[in-house]
Amino acid sequence: MTALSLDALKDRREAALLTQPSVRRFADLLSRRCREASWIRTSVASLDRFASLSGNTDLEALLERCRRDPRVAADALLAFAAALPDATRPQVAALVMGPKLWFTFNGVEVPWSPLEAEADTPLALQTPHPIDRLILLALVGSGLHRSELLRLTLGDAGRLDRDGNLISDLFADPLAVRYVQRRDGAEYITFFTDQARDALHIELDRRRWNGEALDAGAALIAGASGGRATAATTARARRMNASLISAANAVNVELCRKTGDFFRTWGPPGARFSPPAEGRVEETL
């Protein structure tokens, strides 16, 4: 077991799943192929939720049944989605990613396509500039730097095989992305959110309508005129990204400050609790 997979799950309840060989392979492969340890945490956590909600707590036994009949895996994924009746499509897509990767890395072929769910929720981000919207959504959650995103081609997006290698497929869900870190030339994979995947498809439809040749070597992110996007043509997206980060940091700082002020005024939790008197529990404000 790799040190990264152990560190990523340290002191987390889901770490107990690592006692199962298939989960160890799943986590170790993610640790070798992903630069961001967060993919290990979120994927193993969603696998744990899948095991409990679908009634398949013995993952090794489920895996054996699925190897004999892959339809069992597809049915288990559908049962998992059905156990999330109030979840929107992006939420289901995020939760089902772990089980899909676990099945795939352990030699069970499952459909890399969206599962049925409730209607999508409106995106919080609204902008009249679809390319900027795509860039911002692609950066959110993927861990990519803007320069890494702009170097990607359409052939760098798709699904994964059992060894974590990318197979080109722009309609895959989850949508895996292969990139090369310029600093040391190491190849990694990451994933786009469901919203980023949808934004990419909208942008690809626009490019097809404009007559662009969308082969594997075409840029994943193109400028409005069809050429490869550059730092200059995406400057507005960079400013918007910086503004969003600044706003989120300001909210976080203010929340921490208000929490500190509250406890300085009222004391630590339980400080104003009065012991029970005559069978009643009272709190003095």
110 within 8 A of 81, measured Cβ to Cβ: no
Does the reported pTM lie above 0.85?
A: no
Residues 60-75: pLDDT tens digits?
999 999 999 999 999 9
Q: SS3 of 285, please? A: coil
| Encoded tokens for 49 | 């939720």
pLDDT for the residue 259: 82
Q: Are residues 100 and 144 in the same domain?
A: no
In total, how many domains does the chain have? 2
Q: Are residues 221 and 140 in the same domain?
A: yes
At which residue do the structure tokens 């945490």 appear? 41
Lowest mean pLDDT among 8-22, 154-168, 235-249: 235-249
Q: Are residues 77 and 161 in the same domain?
A: no
- Asked whether residue 68 is domain-assigned, the answer is yes
Q: Are residues 91 and 134 in the same domain?
A: no
Residues 179-203: pLDDT tens digits?
998 888 899 999 999 999 999 999 9
Residues 132-157: pLDDT tens digits?
888 888 888 898 988 899 899 999 99
- Which of 109, 105, 103, 113 has its CA nearest to residue 50? 103
Q: Are residues 67 and 21 in the same domain?
A: yes
- Asked whether residue 164 is domain-assigned, the answer is yes
Average pLDDT over residues 119-140: 66
pLDDT for the residue 132: 80
Q: SS3 of 259, please? A: helix
What is the chain's length? 285
Long-range pairs for 15-22 at CB < 8 Å and ≥24 separation?
A: 17/44, 17/47, 17/48, 17/51, 17/59, 18/44, 20/59, 20/60, 21/60, 22/59, 22/60, 22/63, 22/102, 22/106
Q: CA–CA separation, 220 vs 151, rounded Å?
A: 8
Residue 233, burial from CB neighbour count under 10 angstroms (0-12, 13-18, 19+) = middle
* pLDDT surpasses 50 at 231: yes
37 within 8 A of 4, measured Cβ to Cβ: yes
pLDDT for the residue 229: 64
pLDDT for the residue 264: 80
Domain containing 150: what range? 130-230
Q: Are residues 87 and 146 in the same domain?
A: no
